[in-house]
Amino acid sequence: MSAPESNVDAWVRKALHDVLNIENNLAAREVPWDTVCFHAQQAAEKLLKGFLVFRGEARPRTHDLLDLLALCVRYDPELAGLEDDCRRLTHYAVDSRYPDHDLEPEEREGREMVEACRRVQDAILRRIPPEVGHG
């Protein structure tokens, strides 16, 4: 496996670790919805960056999923259908981690962010061959 391919694998693996964090938190007696939303954003971010690395792009240094998605759409216009999910998830990149921001999602919103993350995951993993990025 070449260096770029192994890097794609690393990005996907890290994203799937975020998904595992979500699943573990959802199984808890008390669910920290801010943490669930943060990991949903992180998984989507890493998947989008992994797709860009797969396409030969340098990894952009941003947490803004709309910016990342715009780059991805250049390679696959159908990914534009993820715009609403990316817009909503982006809010959880930074603000959800700190107490000085009034961002405390409740269960309904948390579950919506998990579903948004799953849509990004499904779309991206369909576009990266398993032997390259998630075999």
Q: Write down the pTM of the prediction.
A: 0.90
pLDDT at 77: 98
Domains by residue range for the chain, with CATH:
3-128 (1.20.120.330)
pLDDT at residue 59, rounded to an integer: 79
One-letter amino acid for residue 102 of the chain:
D
Task: Please give the span between the terminal C-alpha atoms of the chain, in angstroms, as a whole number.
Answer: 12
Q: What is the pLDDT of residue 104?
A: 82
Give the whole-angstrom CA distance, residue 3 versus residue 98: 35
CA distance linking residue 55 with residue 127, whole number of Å: 10
Amino acid letter, 97: R
The pLDDT of residue 1: 40
d(CA 4, CA 39): 25
Say what the pLDDT of residue 130 is: 85
Provide block-wise average pLDDT over 10 residues at a time, the chain (135 residues): 64 97 98 96 97 91 95 98 97 71 85 98 95 68
CA distances from 84 to 66, 77, 107, 135 (A): 9, 15, 19, 29
Give the type of residue at 59.
R
